[in-house]
Amino acid sequence: METDESSTGRASLEDGDEAQLIERLRAGDPEAFEQVVRTQGPRLLAVARRFLNHEQDAQDAVQDAFLSAFRNLDQFQGGSRLGTWLHRIVVNASLMKLRSRSRRPERSIDDLMPQFQDDGHLSGVGSDWAVTVDTALGDRDTRDLVRRRIEELPDSFRTVLLLRDIEGQSTEETAELLGISPGAVKTRLHRARQALRSLLDPHLRETH
């Protein structure tokens, strides 16, 4: 749906430079830690913000992710870029932060779903959207609108949409991260996409 540099979590270092950086990290070099925080922090914070919708929670999740990563550098095998590894850790930290929040009533997803008339036709459906998906993603205002409407989805549906459509996780990976079945992931994703379209429709439909 939407992609940007902050969602990739990839380091810009060349392979040789990154290998040296990792060796410095493992040796406890404080300047290496500072370099990683400085270069990766903004990208990881953008990821955490998408999941948590709360600045302090997002900052806490990134801090937790860095602490976890630095304590477990021996688990980094080098099969992926350092930024990609950190990206996965901050996603997990964000999901843990979501689960640790005090339970509060969620808005029902049914309130956001398309409504049908007695004859089976969709109610309140206007013309086609004035923009295509490609056009929407190329326009900053529309991207910001999509992000804001995603934030309106209930957490249990929003996280599935973010993991599948924004983070690019597979159904199985999403199920493992959330502790639900692949079937539940597919159901929530379908309903989340429908609800998101309903939220976007009044803003993106053709006007004549």
Q: Residue range 86-107: average pLDDT?
A: 83
Residue 179 DSSP symbol: T
CATH code at 188?
A: 1.10.10.10
More confident residue, 208 or 133: 133
CATH code at 77?
A: 1.10.1740.10
pLDDT 10s digits, 7-26 = 444 444 566 688 899 999 99
Q: Residue range 181-204: average pLDDT?
A: 90
Q: Which domain holds residue 164?
A: 109-204
DSSP-derived 3-state class of residue 205: strand
Taken in order 91, 94, 96, 98, is the CA torsion positive or negative? negative
pLDDT bracket for residue 55 (50, 70, 90): very high
Backbone phi, psi, residue 92, to 5°: -60, -40
Q: Residue range 147-161: average pLDDT?
A: 91
Residue where a domain terminates, one of 72, 100, 128 = 100
Q: Report yes or no on whether pTM surpasses 0.85.
A: no
Cα–Cα distance, 133 to 5 (Å, whole number): 18
Same domain as 200, residue 115 = yes
Question: Is residue 136 within 8 Å of residue 204, measured between CB atoms?
Answer: yes
Same domain as 17, residue 94 = yes
CA distances from 117 to 113, 124, 126, 165 (A): 13, 9, 14, 30
Residue 140 reports pLDDT greater than 90? no
Name which of 7-11, 51-55, 99-103, 193-197 the model is least confident about.
7-11
pLDDT of residue 11: 40
